[in-house]
Amino acid sequence: MIIEKISLHNFGPFYGDHEIKFNIAEKGVHIIRGGNGQGKTSLQRAILWSLYGKVLDRSGQPIRPTSLLNLNAFEDDIYEFWVTIFFKHNNEDWSVFRKMSSKIHSDSKYQENMILNVIKDGQIIAGSDSQHEIERLLPYHVSRFYFFDGEMLRDYEALLEQDQDSTKLLKDSIEYVLGVPYLKIAKEDLSFIEKQFEKERNKLIKKMGSSNLQEVAENLQSVMADIEDKEKLITVLKEQKDRLRTEILAKKRELADLSEVRDLAQSRLNLEMEIKDLDARKSQILAKMQIKVSGLYKTLLIPPAQNVISKLEIKSNDVLEAYNKRQELKNIVSRIEKDIAEQKCSLCGAILDQEKVINLEKELKEAYTKLELIGEVPEPPMDLVFYKKRLQGMISEAVQREDFVEINKDLSDIDYKIAVLSNKLTDIENKLSGIDSEMPKKLEIEIQDAVRELGRIDGLEEAAKEDLTELIKTKGEWERIMASIPQKELDELNKKIYCTSSLVQVFDDAISKYRDERRSDIEKTASEIFRQIRSKDEFDHLKINDRYGLSIITEKGKSLDRGEWRSSGEEQLVALALIGALNKCAQIKAPVFMDTPFGRFDTKHGEKVLKFLPKLADQVVLLVTDREFRKGDEAVLEENIRDDFTIKYLGENEGSVIKKTS
């Protein structure tokens, strides 16, 4: 299926008539741009609604018809909307036109008046066959692999771990895409026919009335009932196994989350230590500050102390000067007296004559006079020096303003660090609150128990299968006995049963073989795609399980399932790899419409995915925001872009329009 044109009338944000025509001359990518709320998702919903008459919101709930009508049309009292899709399929031209209209704005009335016209190569397909024809082209439950929301991709993997019904639906959908159901349907139809033949035979035996035949028939009937019971038991055991597997996966995931809790607990310990160290440092600084504060009074005494020191210095200097002067004069007197007495100069050693002696006596007299003038001078007072030094010491010990500024800065730094760490600690404590520290151990025990239980049920299933094989053998023996009883009509029915049973066997074996082959194809293709779109490359391949979930096999051969390794971005990558593989291996060929395709990818992965997308299908339509698809991204897609449209919301009066991107 390749979509050529979509026409809309009063659908969602599209008021009046609108059309989008794709260039489908060649395979490639069609870009449809638009900001949030402009109408991209509505366009995708319009296609699904046109095909199936129903459409779901992001939470999986059906959108009511009254919510599909354009608001302006509603205000104009026009209660009709329609969508037509024109597409090519197997070289045939198809169109699907769906319309809802009513005289009043009511869900039930819209539903009652719904019109569906399907035209194939100019031929109108009549009545209920029209919906069946669409289902044959692309069944509703597999459309999720062709029309999807990139942001919801990871939910696909989550679905595989959910309840039995959604898992089965998804598994069946995947097998449908791969073509397995044709064989399954054929086998079921043949089994049904086989049972019909068997019932006919039993009726015939009863009608014939022979006691011998009656006994054989009763034995056969009883064996058949046992077989049916055994088959039911095997189905129940399989369901129990599925439930257990789901439980184990959920517990493994919980355990993986708890390993994060262990890391958090360690972080809490580290933070508590850091805060304790900072508190100790803060106490030290506060003690230091207290000492400084207690010496603060000294600061007040600095000016008078400096004044006293100056006065003490002056007084001390005066006394010292007088004392030194007197000492000097006393030295001079002593020297002159000695020179006169010895008649010899003590400075140069010359003998003194009368004249020199007279001069010296004169000098001596002057010195005596000066000494008398100076008078008695006491020894220089050492207590003044002592007091001065004490006062100077007191000044040096006095607290300076800068000291307090520095202490305050240190305290603020510590308080800030403590506040930051305390916030982190509170966050961690909130995360850890309510978590049982014994939980990891409990979970491990529960997982072990569940694995053991799985093994026990496996054993029961094996035993039931063995019993079933025996019963089938017994049934075969009774049938041989039955066949040996010569009755023409009975003989004919026995042969029909044999014939049908042989066919059932061939189809049953074919299902296993075909399924295994397809799974292997998907595994290889998905691994290849995953390698292309993932930036990390330390993995060997992806492995698909019987429920179509994927595990990563590491280079060392370790198998990691969803519960153990994936971030949401990686889950999206795995899901995309699987969807890519499904599309490549699919028996159904349809366009891929991808809304917000790069939802959770970082730039690097976004570019890798973008490069891969043209290979996803013959027609890939990307519904992107300007944030997802930036300038230059066109270059990544190289020559693969076939169209570039923009959906723009013009306002309440006009709604949204679709235009070629300028």
Partner 1 sequence: MVYTELLNILKEINNTKESKVPEEILEEVLAIVIKNPLDDDRVKCQDQIKMILSQRWRWSENDN
Residues lying near partner 1 in the complex (CB under 8 A): 128, 132, 135-136, 179, 181-183, 185-186, 189-190, 192-193, 196, 483, 492, 495-496, 498-500, 502-503, 505-507, 509-510, 513-514, 517, 587
Closest by CA position to 364, among listed 344, 335, 342: 335
Q: In this structure, what DSSP letter does residue 311 have?
A: H
Give min distance, CB of 182 to partner 1, in A: 5
- Using CA atoms in the order 541, 542, 546, 548, what is the torsion angle rounded to 10 degrees? -150
* Residue indicated by tokens 């869900």: 107
Nearer to partner 1, 186 or 395 (CB): 186
Using CA atoms, how far apart are residues 273 and 290, in angstroms rounded to an integer? 26
Distances (CA, A) of 58 to 50, 106, 226: 18, 23, 46
264-272, long-range: CB within 8 Å, 24+ apart, which pairs?
A: 264/428, 264/431, 264/432, 265/432, 265/437, 267/424, 267/428, 268/425, 268/428, 268/429, 268/432, 271/421, 271/424, 271/425, 271/428, 272/425
Closest by CA position to 376, among listed 445, 305, 319, 443: 319
Q: What angle do CA 19, 20, 25 make, to 5 degrees?
A: 135
Give min distance, CB of 98 to partner 1, in A: 19
Is residue 202 exposed (0-12), middle (13-18) or buried (19+ Cβ within 10 Å)?
middle
Nearer to partner 1, 493 or 581 (CB): 493
As given in the structure block, the two tokens for residue 135 are: 């289902």
β-pairing, 2-11 vs 619-624, is unpaired
* Residue indicated by tokens 């506040």: 419
Nearer to partner 1, 146 or 507 (CB): 507
The runs of H, that is alpha helices, within 53-124 are: 65-68, 71-75, 107-112
- The answer to whether 410 touches 285, Cβ cutoff 8 Å, is yes
Give min distance, CB of 142 to partner 1, in A: 12
As given in the structure block, the two tokens for residue 226 are: 């046992």
Using CA atoms, how far apart are residues 608 and 625, in angstroms rounded to an integer? 18
Query: Which amino acid makes up residue 104?
Result: I
Q: 37-49 burial by CB neighbour count: b if 16+ within 10 A, else e?
A: ebbbbbbbbbbbb
Nearer to partner 1, 81 or 197 (CB): 197
Give min distance, CB of 215 to partner 1, in A: 22
Query: Which amino acid makes up residue 28?
Result: G
Is residue 163 exposed (0-12), middle (13-18) or buried (19+ Cβ within 10 Å)?
exposed
Nearer to partner 1, 195 or 298 (CB): 195
Report DSSP letters for 400-456, one per residue: PHHHHHHHHHHHHHHHHHHHHHHHHHHHHHHHHTT--TTHHHHHHHHHHHHHHHHHH
* Residue indicated by tokens 């100019």: 122
Query: Which amino acid makes up residue 351?
Result: I
Give min distance, CB of 568 to partner 1, in A: 35
Using CA atoms, how far apart are residues 643 and 33, in angstroms rounded to an integer? 11
Nearer to partner 1, 148 or 197 (CB): 197
β-pairing, 28-33 vs 619-624, is parallel
Using CA atoms, how far apart are residues 79 and 106, in angstroms rounded to an integer? 9
As given in the structure block, the two tokens for residue 337 are: 């007296």
Give min distance, CB of 159 to partner 1, in A: 22
Give min distance, CB of 500 to partner 1, in A: 6
Give min distance, CB of 49 to partner 1, in A: 20
Residue 164 has phi, psi (to 5 degrees) of: -55, -45
Nearer to partner 1, 467 or 521 (CB): 521
- Residue 185: which H helix or E strand, with range? helix 180-208
Give min distance, CB of 522 to partner 1, in A: 15
- Residue 99: which H helix or E strand, with range? strand 92-101
Give min distance, CB of 173 to partner 1, in A: 13
Nearer to partner 1, 133 or 643 (CB): 133
- The answer to whether 223 touches 474, Cβ cutoff 8 Å, is yes
